[in-house]
């Protein structure tokens, strides 16, 4: 795994870092086998709210993942949400350019800057303002190789510093910036800030692209009177 200072600087400046060889191949194989045997409630794109799955919960506490999260967040890092993205010939999809601004919350409290609100599979969500989102880091653990042919994550470097953007502002950035494809082999991790503008295209080949997207926060009390839900 590359030095902490290298990828920590990249995340601070660019909003993301590609970190190769974080997990061993046998760890990935064991996790794939366990997930295949699990009765996951799947949607077209994968499965959400997976921290209740013991295998995923154990992965979220993996020393190497916690080291990355703690280094970037500069304090204790608490996993609060895990999502499986499963792109394959059977379920091939694209994601338009966007920021990740919705957070799972234990209860609804009306506060300035929060909303709109929704409920997904019994979990309360609200779109958050920039300050709480700056306390969050996502680690995308790759269960398969991510190549330029199977719909990799694409990012606009540095856009995590621009706050919560409107759709029109995102469209202008996409027009004027060159995206970067985040390519990494199985066992590698893409670390990203939720406010970085990102997307992914459809896969052009039959090779699957499975990613466990695990999010960490500096603390569960994410804002005044609002606490993150574990999902």
Supply the pLDDT for residue 88: 65
> Residue ranges of the domains in the chain?
4-100+135-219
Answer whether 20's CB lies under 8 Å from 185's CB: yes
Q: What is the pLDDT of residue 37?
A: 84
User: pTM for this one?
Assistant: 0.95
| CB neighbour list of residue 187: distance below 8 Å, 6 or more residues apart | 20, 21, 22, 23, 24, 25, 27, 28, 142
pLDDT of residue 95: 84
Q: Which pLDDT does position 205 carry in this prediction?
A: 76
Asked if 155 and 182 count as a contact pair (C-beta separation under 8 A), the reply is yes
CA contacts within 13 A on the Cβ side of 42: 14
Rounded Cα–Cα distance for residues 168 and 77 (Å): 33
Q: Of 192, 197, 198, 214, give the one whose Cα is nearest residue 85.
A: 214
Q: Per-block average pLDDT, block size 10, for the chain (231 residues)? A: 73 96 95 85 75 96 96 94 83 83 96 96 97 98 93 96 98 97 97 97 80 97 95 96
Q: Which two tokens stand for residue 122?
A: 């019994």
Whole-number pLDDT of residue 151:
84
Amino acid 150: pLDDT: 87
Cα-to-chain-centroid distance, residue 116: 21
Res 42: pLDDT: 63
pLDDT of residue 163: 98
Token look-up 């052009």 returns: 204
Superfamily of domain 4-100+135-219: q2cbj1_9rhob like domain (2.60.120.620)
65/71 Cα distance (integer angstroms): 10
pLDDT in tens, 85-124: 987 666 666 789 999 999 999 999 999 999 999 999 999 9
Secondary structure of 173-230 in the HEC alphabet?
HHHHCCCEECCECCCCEEEECCCCCEEECCCCCCCCEEEEEEEEECCCEEECCEEECC
């Amino acid at each position: 795994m590359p030095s902490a200072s290298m990828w920590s600087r990249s995340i601070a400046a660019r909003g993301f870092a590609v970190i190769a060889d974080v997990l061993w191949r046998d760890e990935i194989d064991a996790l794939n086998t366990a997930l295949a045997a699990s009765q996951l409630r799947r949607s077209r794109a994968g499965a959400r709210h997976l921290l209740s799955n013991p295998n995923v919960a154990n992965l979220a506490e993996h020393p190497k993942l916690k080291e990355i999260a703690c280094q970037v967040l500069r304090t204790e890092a608490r996993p609060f949400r895990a999502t499986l993205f499963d792109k394959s010939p059977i379920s091939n999809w694209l994601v338009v350019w966007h920021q990740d601004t919705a957070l799972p919350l234990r209860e609804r409290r009306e506060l300035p800057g929060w909303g709109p609100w929704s409920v997904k599979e019994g979990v309360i969500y609200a779109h958050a303002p920039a300050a709480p989102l700056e306390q969050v880091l996502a680690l995308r653990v790759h269960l398969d190789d991510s190549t330029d042919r199977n719909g990799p994550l694409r990012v606009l470097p540095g856009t995590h510093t621009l706050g919560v953007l409107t759709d029109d502002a995102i469209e202008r950035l996409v027009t004027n910036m060159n995206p970067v494809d985040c390519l990494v082999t199985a066992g590698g991790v893409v670390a990203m800030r939720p406010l970085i503008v990102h997307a992914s295209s459809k896969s052009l080949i039959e090779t699957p692209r499975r990613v466990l997207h695990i999010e960490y926060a500096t603390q569960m009390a994410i804002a005044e009177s609002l606490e993150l839900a574990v999902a």
